[in-house]
Amino acid sequence: MFRIVFIAISIIASPLFAQETVVVDLSQNRIEITATYSGSNIFVFGAVKRDTPLPAGTGSLDVAIVIEGPLETVTVRKKEKKLGIWVNSDAVEIHRAPSFFTIATTRPLEEMLNEGDRRDYAIGLDYAVRPQPDAEDDIDANIESFAEAVVRIREDDGLYSQREGLVNLTDDILFEAGISLPANLVEGDYTARIYLVRDKNIVADAAVEITVRKAGLEAWLYDLSRENSLLYGLLSLLVALVAGYGASEIFRRLKR
């Protein structure tokens, strides 16, 4: 496996603990989805850098790692019983639903981080989907229940998860976490956000990009289906006819 050059990290230091910064890298910045792709493991590791020694009486350190897939717009439909059968009735477009969302932390999230920071930085499954209601929608009042449904359904699909206690922190300096990515990953630019937390407040953060791309045959087929759909369609038919003929011939010979 090739290690890609260390990516420069955006660092926003909190005013309170300006002397602490976080340095992070990933075991891989690029995930290639090939035909045999069946999920992968990404290893996030890093260290806390301090320019000055910590003042006495500072609380313990915690780390939260958020890996997020590309944001997409989805239509969420709600079924209702009408005339005895269940039919789709209300539909809401959710504009900022990440295709993938996972959080790994050193401790249970609510215990280690304040609510305001959790909301502002979207740390937690409850903040994974941030609905931006349309002005025209009359059903904005219960848009929350639609956003919650996205989280619930994707949690069941293994796309959203919260893994408390997965991050190992050593001597308040080194941390690491092995985060598994599911097989039903979609292409796009993913981000890994890393937050240092002290006394329930974020003191430093960093972000690293992860590129997920189809590769090899997968990429070739996908591109062909989009760029030359007629050829792709004809090719699919040809394969079907050849396979049909081939099977018929093989069985005819076998019978003799």
Binding residues for another protein (CB under 8 A)? 33-39, 72-81, 84-88, 91, 93, 146, 149-150, 152-154, 183-184, 186-187, 214, 217-219, 221-222, 225-226, 229-230, 232-237, 239-241, 243-248, 251
- Residue closer to another protein, measured from CB, 23 or 139: 139
- Residue closer to another protein, measured from CB, 6 or 245: 245
Sign of CA dihedral 66, 68, 74, 79: negative
Q: How far is the CB of 235 from another protein (least distance, A)?
A: 7
Q: How far is the CB of 28 from another protein (least distance, A)?
A: 17
- Residue closer to another protein, measured from CB, 92 or 122: 92
* H or E stretch at 2: none
3-class DSSP assignment, residue 249: helix
- Residue closer to another protein, measured from CB, 39 or 116: 39
Q: How far is the CB of 90 from another protein (least distance, A)?
A: 10
* Bridge-based pairing state of the strands 101-105 and 85-98: unpaired
Q: Which positions ≥6 away from 254 have C-beta within 8 Å?
A: none
- Residue closer to another protein, measured from CB, 39 or 108: 39
What residue type is assigned to position 49 of the chain?
K
Q: How far is the CB of 84 from another protein (least distance, A)?
A: 7
Helix pair 229-255, 216-227: axis angle to 10 deg: 120
Q: Is 234 left (phi over 0), alpha (psi -120 to 50) or beta?
A: alpha
